[in-house]
Structure 1
Amino acid sequence: MALAITTKPAAPVLTVPEFCAHARLPDDTPDAVYIASILDAVTAWLAGPNGWLGRSLIAQTLTLTVPLNVVVGFVGPMIADAMTGVVLPRPPVIDVESVAVLDGAGAATTIPQAQYSTHEGADGMTRLVLAPGFQMPTIDRAPAWLRTVYRAGYGAAGTDVDAGIRHAMLMAAMRLYAGRGDPSVTLGSDPMLAELFKPYAGWSGR
């Protein structure tokens, strides 16, 4: 399975003024550039290509490519009604832009929208499901792959992201800001931050 971010988020989740308000710093703080780098680091840790949170925050376009033989089974956790499909990692999923079958030479056959649907399970994961009776396109060269292009995220603006995630990100940024120069201050090993983000952690497919 391969997952790539094909269109990056167009806006930051948090801004320097938002951090300054949280930290009770003046808007014209001389640390503005440093704070911006901290916010970038926290965002990358959570929602980068291998983000710890396993979620998309600002809307972005993702491309998932999986071997076609997994479509008849499933990728990821099974959902309650036993429906199977391909998990679309990095939720929340906004919409699916295209689905195609690729052969071993890279030739793509687009699957009509009527031939697939998406379903969200109780675990919060969205799955792509091919319609009953789906007819496999003619493959000139094996192996075959299923390529799904979809958009995921809470919205186009930072304020669209869940308030709990934004607050936890501010707390994480504060830890780094207050502990600058201290190599013992890290994000991944901080139990308090892990608890703050735990309700939002999703299955990442990694």
Structure 2
Amino acid sequence: YIDAATAWLDGPAGILGRCLVTQNWQMGLDAVTGPILLPFPDSEIDSAVFTDAAGGDLDYWIDRRDQRLLLRPLAGFGRPAAITFTAGYGAPAEIPVAIRQAMLLLIAHWYENRAAVSPGTSPSALPVAVDALLAPYRRIRL
């Protein structure tokens, strides 16, 4: 249940749309056609290389706003790019308390409600507290 709760919350497929613990990611683009939106809002760029037609590196510009990190080469759209970045809160102990508490509630709920429906009871939705605890940390996807 711990692994399932982590998978439900963590990474680009998780409902939070962000990394829980520190993770290193790489992103390669065959051609840059506009600003690049990284998949996680709280990312730190380790390196970004935009290559011009002669194989030289181009400078880039970083714009942080509205939970988005945008990279844009200062010249040379249509060129390949390679980006490495780090995302996440840090070590497991650094994950915000509200997220850890929501995970504990979720794990307990799944343990107590292992079947979709138990005889003589109605289906049980997730505890309201899980959504309330996670709401401030959900990434707004545009």
Scaled by the length of structure 2, what TM-score is found?
0.74
Count of aligned residue pairs for this structure pair: 132
Matched, 1:175 2:109: yes
| Percent identity between the two aligned chains | 29
Q: Of residues 83, 101, 108 in structure 2, which corresponds to 1:148?
A: 83
Q: CA deviation at 1:190?
A: 3.0
Aligned to 2:4: 41
Aligned to 2:46: 97
Aligned to 1:158: 92
Residue 195 of structure 1 aligns with an amino acid whose one-letter code is: A
Give the Cα–Cα distance (whole angstroms) in 2 for the partners of residues 119 and 163 of structure 1. Answer: 29
Aligned to 1:119: 63
Check whether the contact 2:45–2:85 (CA below 8 A) recurs between aligned residues: yes
Give the Cα–Cα distance (whole angstroms) in 2 for the partners of residues 158 and 98 of structure 1. Answer: 25
The 3 A distance-change label for structure 1 pair 202 and 49 is closer
Spell out, residue by residue over 1:44-69, the C-alpha distance to the aligned partner (whole angstroms, 9 max, x if none): 11114511210111000112344411
Matched, 1:86 2:22: no
Q: Secondary structure at the match of 1:68?
A: coil
Aligned to 1:198: 135
Q: Of residues 19, 39, 44 in structure 2, which corresponds to 1:56?
A: 19
The 3 A distance-change label for structure 1 pair 111 and 42 is farther
Check whether the contact 1:100–1:110 (CA below 8 A) recurs between aligned residues: no
Spell out, residue by residue over 1:94-136, the C-alpha distance to the aligned partner (whole angstroms, 9 max, x if none): x212223479xxxxx5746xx2243321x222222334xx3x3
The 3 A distance-change label for structure 1 pair 101 and 173 is same
Structure 2: gaps (5+ residues): 119-124
Check whether the contact 2:11–2:18 (CA below 8 A) recurs between aligned residues: no
Structure 1: gaps (5+ residues): 1-37, 72-84, 104-108, 138-142
The 3 A distance-change label for structure 1 pair 41 and 128 is same
Give the Cα–Cα distance (whole angstroms) in 2 for the partners of residues 53 and 159 of structure 1. Answer: 18
Q: CA deviation at 1:204?
A: 5.6
Give the Cα–Cα distance (whole angstroms) in 2 for the partners of residues 184 and 53 of structure 1. Answer: 27
Scaled by the length of structure 1, what TM-score is found?
0.54
Check whether the contact 1:55–1:204 (CA below 8 A) recurs between aligned residues: no
